[in-house]
Amino acid sequence: MSDAKKNNWTIGEILQWTKQYFSEKGVENPRLDAEVLLSDIVKLDRLRLYVNFDQPLQQQELDRYRDYVKKRVMRLPVAYILGRKEFMGLEFAVNPAVLIPRPETELLVETVLKRLEGCQNPAILDIGTGSGAIILSVLKLLPAATGLAVDISPQALAVARDNADRLGVAERVTFRESNLLTALGEPDKPAGGFDAILSNPPYIKDEDIPVLAPEVGKEPRTALAGGRDGLDFYRLILQEAAGYLQPEGFLAWEIGAGQSEDISRLARESGWTVTDVLKDLAGIERVMVLIIGK
Ligand code: GLN
């Protein structure tokens, strides 16, 4: 497109051009993505873009915006391009070392907040914390809570630590590099055990990995791949978590579409009881709460 070389673009013209270009390249939400990326460059809310349609872009803005557009066309998710994602009304730093927090995961946080109502000083363990979105939201919203967050990836832990600092909860959370709970021991356990153990483990089946959207393919495979049937990490957590939980405590995790029945069976076989299964806004069983025993 020869237009792409032009230098005196206005906000309106460049939005129009990008929308067209993104659709040609198969980007799923061409208009939304163009707006979000341009907003970040010109430092205007999305709505304001339309009030400032005739404002010309400065050369430097144009260069940075072209870089964004190039990345998006290579199917890098918008959140990685901008380096941030909103979750539970909070802003989380993200990079390709961590899974991008999903809106449906907010249901896990909401469920946990409800269940912890009335618990004085809840101690929370998050397995596979990634960006820290789950546990850091809980800590932010429950000022008396403390947490331990583990992840196998030191790069992910660096992102989570950064987020803990930004959200002002760093003094209430400890981070540990660990493959599930294997690097933890008695000293990591609060007296009596954790009140809540949380996780959004990798749950995509091996056979589904090659057909993921190109954007999801840019996310860490270790955060997505759950083995042959997608349930590897549920099995392991059911084995490892019981020893870390208060007798009155609960385990709450996110599950993939269609996995509820199989996971409930695995839970029963390992001595857990499913107390709740919650559906997300798409009507998919997405969050499960479990306790030890019958
Ligand atoms: N919800 C993510 C997806 O479908 C998967 C997250 C996970 O494996 N825990 O892309």
Query: Yes or no: is domain 95-292 CATH 3.30.300.180?
Result: no
- Identify the band that residue 194 occupies on the pLDDT scale cut at 50, 70 and 90: very high
Which of 122, 103, 183, 124 has the alpha carbon at shortest distance from 151?
183
Q: What is the pLDDT of residues 110-122, one digit of tens each?
A: 999 999 998 999 9
Instruction: Name which residue leads in pLDDT, 58 or 294.
Output: 58
pLDDT digits (tens, 9 = 90+) for 50-81: 999 999 999 999 999 999 999 999 999 999 99
The Å distance, Cα 141 to ligand 1 centre, comes to: 24
User: Does the beta carbon of 216 lie inside 6 Å of ligand 1?
Assistant: yes
Evaluate if pTM is beyond 0.90: yes
CA distance 54 to 189: 60
How far, in Å, CA of 217 to CA of 182, rounded?
Answer: 28
- Indicate which atom in ligand 1 lies nearest the CA of residue 230: 8
From the CA atom positions of the chain, what is the Rg in Å?
Answer: 21
Longest dimension (CA), the chain: 69
Answer whether residue 1 shows pLDDT above 70: no
Domain boundaries along the sequence of the chain: 2-74, 95-292
ipTM (interface predicted TM) = 0.93
Structure confidence by residue, pLDDT tens digits, 221-274: 999 999 999 999 999 999 999 999 999 999 999 999 999 999 999 999 999 999
The domain made up of 2-74 has a fold known as: Helicase, Ruva Protein; domain 3 (1.10.8)
The Cα–Cα gap between 223 and 234 comes to 13
- The reply to whether domains 2-74 and 95-292 share a CATH topology is no
Quote the ligand 1 centre to 190 CA distance (angstroms): 30
Q: Which residues belong to the annotated binding site for substrate?
A: 200-203
Rounded to 5°, angle at Cα 212 from 264 and 41: 115
Ligand 1 touching residue 102 (CB < 6 A): yes
Which of 288, 287, 258, 262 has the alpha carbon at shortest distance from 275? 288
Query: Residue 177 is encoded by which pair of tokens?
Result: 């590099």
